[in-house]
Chains A and B, each alone.
Chain A
Amino acid sequence: MRGDAMTEPQLLHEAVVIERIQESPVIFTLRLSFTDPELQAGYRFEPGQFNMVGLYGVGQSPISIVSDPQDERLLDHTIRGLGRVTLGLSRLAAGDRVGLRGPYGRGWPLAQAQGRDIVLITGGLGCAPAVSVIRYVLRRRERFGYLTILQGVKHADDLIWRRQYAQWSAFPDVHVGLAADVGAPGWFGVVGPVTALFDQAPIRAGSLVMMCGPEIMMRVVAAELVRRGIDENDMWLSMERNMHCATGLCGHCQIGPHFVCRDGPVFRYPELKALLGERGF
């Protein structure tokens, strides 16, 4: 956390939009940089952590950081324009200012993942927290084992970053699998749920699994992976909840005893198993 975190834990700091990239009709990336160079230089985060991005006069939204932690110049935030804040953010252009505070929460277990095979399973539209892991691993290819990327979408047309998936699959020791519940002409992936990809994918015992997407999907996937010999403690998932403070105080993000902003957003599967996909929690 930046600045006088202990006395001003929620204070925003000015950041400037360096570049805005349209990823899909509703998804865009803001490349941000703190205007205070000292703040920017001292900022550290781990993939899977998030920032609160503040739009002047409107509000703040938790957005996961997808740039590389060693990039000292830019902080990339990939955002889906859906609510008041994120739709407002979607209208920003290079040079515009926002408020930024963070990073918050627990990121992906990348230290534990060193030297091991990684299986990344995502569902839904553009799973930003997972993209941060893929980029991290591909930039440090030699430190990790086999990388398996499995993405499921409802409809074939929902898939974004087609080109990126193609680029990723060209890396050595990378397997990319795509599945759509509903296919479409020209769909090159599998038609079915994301678990339909498992037979073709190199999911080996000892792999570390990271998941992101609808909770029901993650619950089904976790159960299937247990059947395939993956240890529950080697499965990690990124959760999404309403957040106002990001400092474990406001209470909106609770799942059972967990504050997602503070204890997550990345959780070990057994921590959430009992309530994962349980409607109302």
Chain B
Amino acid sequence: MAATGFLLRSHLQDLLDALVAVGYRCVGPQVRDGAVCYDTLREAADLPWGWRDAQNPGTYRLRQTGGAYAFAWANGPQGLKPLLFAPRELLQTSIRAPDGGLRFAAPVASVGAMAVVGVRACDLAALRLLDQHFIGGFVPDPHYAARRADLFLIAVHCSHPAATCFCVSTGDGPRAEQGFDLALGETEAGFVVFAGSAAGAGLAERLPLRPAQAAEEAFVDAALADAVKAQTRSLPSRDLRAGLFGNLRHPRWEAVASRCLSCGNCTAVCPTCFCHGEGEEVAADGASSARYRQWDSCFTQEHSAIHGMVIRADTRQRYRQWLTHKLGSWHGQYGRSGCVGCGRCITWCPVGIDITEEAAAVCAGTP
């Protein structure tokens, strides 16, 4: 992809201003509670300038290096998922009249156009999967659709993968290849800008870009090449259906279950996990009731409960469900694995269970 131009670091605020000028609310990475999180972004100065991360199974630490880069870190616990598939969403209100009559309404929150700055390739891949799940089926989800409709995506090529990253092996990174409006490659002086859509090219015209120099483009390419080489983790294959479903009684499931706390952190940070539960909240006066959905996890007992029986009663079955779904059944549902190699489930697992290690052990066959 040919560069559209070069944006000096001092002009990054112009990008945010241009987005606001055409009606977007900007969301971008910022350091909050000791992690890089996506939140409303007003000032380019609020980006994580100089911050670096250290991620390993079960650990995440940030440190300030004083460096010149805004995006020299790998993803924090969340990316695009909570921005589109809200952790909690009002689905329906019910009103009961004194005569017992019921009236129902299904409001869709109006969210307005949103621009997200700093999206990584793994999260763009996850977004394509969430799109398939939430709006690609025969009953599109109106809440996701509303948030997705006016989304402007500014990707950043991922130059500093964490030790837990393995997007190279899933084919999803570190370079943002598709699905963005603009992509940025960071250098010390600023950003090589690539337009990925007509809307992106239109926005680029509003920016004070100068032509990108060959050396700047080469620097971005070299940083990406280094990012590829830096990744040490990998999945054994991009299609593990046979290996997983052919080894449903592998002793490794028992072994991982003895470590797994069934806490659901992996499903909460996974950018493609879509399970959610619905529940009613009745008003104190009893005259109305609201039905909400919120993120759920296949690691809970309630997830598989049917009238007095739990399909997945133990952790072995729940971990096996998660892994066989994520790396196996997704192929039948959406044509590829549900894993984009972001490594979040490894970092945020309190006991440091490594999905790549577990998948490799199970798929290697009965020991």
- Tell me the A1-55 residues at the B interface (CB within 8 Å): 1, 5-14, 35, 54
Pairwise interchain contact A280-B293, C-beta atoms closer than 8 A: no
A97-B95 Cα distance, complex, nearest whole Å: 12
Pairwise interchain contact B94-A256, C-beta atoms closer than 8 A: no
Pairwise interchain contact A6-B140, C-beta atoms closer than 8 A: yes
A6-B331 Cα distance, complex, nearest whole Å: 26
Known contacts A13-B104, A57-B280, A280-B317: does B142 contact A252 (CB below 8 Å)?
no
What distance in Å separates the Cβ of B70 from its nearest Cβ neighbour in chain A? 36
Other-chain contact of B277, A82, A83, A96, A244 (Cβ < 8 Å) = A244
What distance in Å separates the Cβ of A18 from its nearest Cβ neighbour in chain B? 15
- Tell me the A246-266 residues at the B interface (CB within 8 Å): 247-252, 254, 256-259, 262
A98-B100 Cα distance, complex, nearest whole Å: 9
Pairwise interchain contact A56-B307, C-beta atoms closer than 8 A: no
Q: Please choose the segment from B193-201, B210-218, B298-306 that sits at the chain A interface, where 4 or more of its residues have CB less than 8 A away.
A: B298-306
What distance in Å separates the Cβ of A251 from its nearest Cβ neighbour in chain B? 4
Q: How many A-B residue pairs have CB under 8 A?
A: 135
A281-B91 Cα distance, complex, nearest whole Å: 28
B98 within 8 A of A: no
Q: Mark interface residues in A88-114 (1 if CB within 8 Å of B CB, else 0).
A: 000000011111000000000000000
Q: Mark interface residues in B127-142 (1 if CB within 8 Å of A CB, else 0).
A: 0000001100111111
Known contacts A6-B140, A252-B296, A254-B329: does B104 contact A11 (CB below 8 Å)?
yes
Known contacts A11-B104, A12-B94, A82-B307: does B280 contact A280 (CB below 8 Å)?
no
What distance in Å separates the Cβ of B358 from its nearest Cβ neighbour in chain A? 16
Pairwise interchain contact B139-A251, C-beta atoms closer than 8 A: no
Q: Which residues of A contact B108 (CB under 8 A)?
A: 7
What distance in Å separates the Cβ of B260 from its nearest Cβ neighbour in chain A? 14
What distance in Å separates the Cβ of B81 from its nearest Cβ neighbour in chain A? 14
- Tell me the A51-102 residues at the B interface (CB within 8 Å): 54, 56-60, 80, 82-83, 86, 95-99
Q: How large is the interface on A (under 10, 10 to 19, 20 to 34, 35 or more residues)?
A: 35 or more
A144-B245 Cα distance, complex, nearest whole Å: 39
Other-chain contact of B106, A10, A240, A242 (Cβ < 8 Å) = A10
Closest to B319 in A: A280
A278 within 8 A of B: yes
A241 within 8 A of B: yes
Pairwise interchain contact A5-B142, C-beta atoms closer than 8 A: no
Q: Which residues of B contact A240 (CB under 8 A)?
A: 306
Known contacts A6-B140, A57-B282: does B94 contact A250 (CB below 8 Å)?
no
Q: Which residues of A contact B312 (CB under 8 A)?
A: 280
- List chain A positions with a Cβ less than 8 A from chain B: 1, 5-14, 35, 54, 56-60, 80, 82-83, 86, 95-99, 240-242, 244-245, 247-252, 254, 256-259, 262, 274, 278-281
- List chain B positions with a Cβ less than 8 A from chain A: 91-92, 94, 96, 100-106, 108, 133-134, 137-142, 245, 248, 274-280, 282, 286, 289, 293, 296, 298, 302-308, 311-312, 316-318, 320-321, 324-325, 328-333
- Would you give 15 A-B contacts (Cβ < 8 Å), ordered by A? A9-B139, A9-B141, A10-B106, A11-B92, A57-B280, A242-B303, A242-B304, A245-B276, A247-B137, A250-B296, A254-B329, A274-B245, A280-B316, A280-B317, A281-B321
